[in-house]
Amino acid sequence: MHLHKRFTTEQVKAILRGYEQGDLRRADAQSLLGVKPTTFFNLLKRYRRDPERFAVTYQRTRRKKLGRRAEQFLKRALLADERLIQDPQIPVWTHNYSAIRDRLRKEGIHVSVPTIISRAKQYDCYQARKPREHHDREVITTAVGALIQHDASHHRWSPFATEKWVLITSLDDFSRLLLYAEFVAAESTWAHIVAAREVMLRYGIPLNYYVDSLRVFRFIDHGESLWREAHVQTDEVNPQWKHCVETAGAKIIYALSPQAKGKVERPYRWLQDRIVRTCALEKLSHLEDVRQVLQEEVTRYNEHQVHSTTKEIPVLRFQHATQAGHSLFRPFVLPAPFTHHDDVFCLRETRQTNGYRRISLWGQDIAVPKVNPFEPIDIHIIPDGKKEAISLRLWHAKRLVLATTYPASAFPKLHF
């Protein structure tokens, strides 16, 4: 029974006034009104805001009907969504009524999700929601920068594309903010190094990175056998990505199973559903077009959507934590003796000068005049896909001895 049908405004005000003055306990006041705690505190909040104008009278307003244009757009959107689900070539299996609402908003049509569900039942485009598996959703960190979830997803993101692409993301555990999200044509060590570089140069050095045990992130020895003798054990060799992250000053934690990385898997599912739907409806087939869709969805996730676990918008939670001093990000500082961040975020090779003070790198003969013969050279390799160039920075005895740039075609065997 509604409150306004059982009490007058003055009766409700008298009960709330008694609670405010200490004459009534909260449980007694709530019992008299016959409401739950949430309703009671909402009433109390309204009463405290303006006791004189407080009222419990209720006037039902007539619902505004959808216009003809809105009904047509909504029907087309629901039927198009149904076709996506029925197509076995498209990895979309359930309706997403929130996504339909957002698509209609782009057309200037504002319809609530319950209205969309009502029309879906009317047009036979409705699926009852399956019971979800129960799992613990909690924030295990106390500050931003304490733990960065980093992962990649290899998928056919558009049904009109002829190949699969890789989505690389980095997610802050505390705020659930996506710090980095980018499509690449193929997964590579360099693509993951670029992701770490962008996060650290923009936000700072986090305390920990949380990744799986793929060979990009970790060297794992599978033990000796009759056919193989193990010369190095697990973690005795640093992969290139791990070397970059640890040189910058962050630590690495490895997940023992895919289920352990659930926090970053759920945003993947959300992005996959939204991106695939948009690509299918707009018939996108080029990587650059899909990248634009990705950035729109990342902006929506970071800046507009209330996260189901934290109950806050990720970017606002991140900002509030930073302003309150709850951040474990440290400013990026070049470790000695390096002179540029390219010396930290790079691919590494080692060569030895010959008797003519030259080294050979993948078929290229490079003169190193400032170094004696038969001395070791540390080579820092920085690919630039946009410029189709590869920069080399040669170090010897903690000293930069040569910085040069080659066209990418000079190293045809180097794939990045």
Render 60-108 in DSSP notation, one character per residue.
PPPPPPPPHHHHHHHHHHHHHHHHHHH-TTS---S--HHHHHHHHHHTT
Predicted local distance difference test score (pLDDT) of residue 36: 87
One-letter amino acid at 360 equals: S
Per-domain residue ranges of the chain = 3-49, 68-122, 148-223+230-323, 341-410
Predicted local distance difference test score (pLDDT) of residue 155: 83
Instruction: Determine which helix (DSSP H) or strand (DSSP E) holds 396, and give its type and residue range.
Output: strand 389-396
* Cα angle for residues 274, 177, 269 (degrees, 5° grid): 30
Predicted local distance difference test score (pLDDT) of residue 260: 56
CA atoms of 111 and 102, how far apart (whole Å): 9
Cβ atoms within 10 Å of 402's Cβ, excluding its own: 18
3-class DSSP assignment, residue 109 = coil
Predicted local distance difference test score (pLDDT) of residue 137: 52
Q: What is the DSSP string of 317-357?
A: HHHHHHHTT-B--B---PPTT--SGGGTSSEEEEEE--TTS
CA atoms of 240 and 219, how far apart (whole Å): 10
Kindly state the DSSP code that residue 261 receives in the 8-state scheme: G
Q: What is the DSSP string of 62-74?
A: PPPPPPHHHHHHH
Residues 6+ apart with CB under 8 A from 71: 119
Residues 6+ apart with CB under 8 A from 85: 92, 93, 94, 95, 127
* Nearest by Cα to 302 from 169, 413, 183: 169
CB 373 within 8 Å of CB 355? yes
Q: For the packed helices 189-203 and 240-248, what is the interaxial angle rounded to 10 degrees?
A: 10
CB 182 within 8 Å of CB 243? no
pLDDT in tens, the chain (416 residues): 577 778 888 888 889 988 888 888 888 888 888 888 888 888 888 888 888 888 887 655 555 678 888 899 899 999 988 888 888 777 788 888 888 998 888 888 889 999 999 999 999 888 777 665 554 455 678 999 999 999 888 888 888 888 889 999 999 999 999 999 999 998 889 999 999 999 999 999 999 999 887 667 754 444 444 444 444 444 445 789 999 999 999 999 987 665 555 555 666 777 888 898 899 888 899 999 999 999 999 999 999 988 888 889 999 999 999 999 999 999 999 999 999 999 999 999 999 999 999 999 988 999 998 899 999 999 999 999 888 999 999 999 999 999 999 999 998 877 66
Cβ atoms within 10 Å of 73's Cβ, excluding its own: 19
- Residue bearing tokens 């007058």: 8
CA atoms of 201 and 248, how far apart (whole Å): 10
- Peptide bond between residue 337 and the one before it cis (omega within 30 degrees of 0): yes
Residues 6+ apart with CB under 8 A from 55: 9
326 class by beta-carbon count within 10 Å (0-12 exposed, 13-18 middle, 19+ buried): middle
* Nearest by Cα to 177 from 207, 136, 146: 146
How many helical (H) and strand (E) elements, i.e. helices and strands, does the chain have? 12, 11
One-letter amino acid at 355 equals: G
Residues 6+ apart with CB under 8 A from 199: 148, 170, 179, 180, 206
CB 117 within 8 Å of CB 302? no
Q: Which CATH number fits domain 148-223+230-323: 3.30.420.10, 3.40.50.300, 3.90.1150.10, 3.40.800.10?
A: 3.30.420.10
Tokens coding 172 = 């802050």
249-277: burial string, b at 16+ Cβ within 10 Å, e else: bbebeebeeeeebebbebbbebbbbbbbb
* Cα angle for residues 124, 129, 133 (degrees, 5° grid): 160
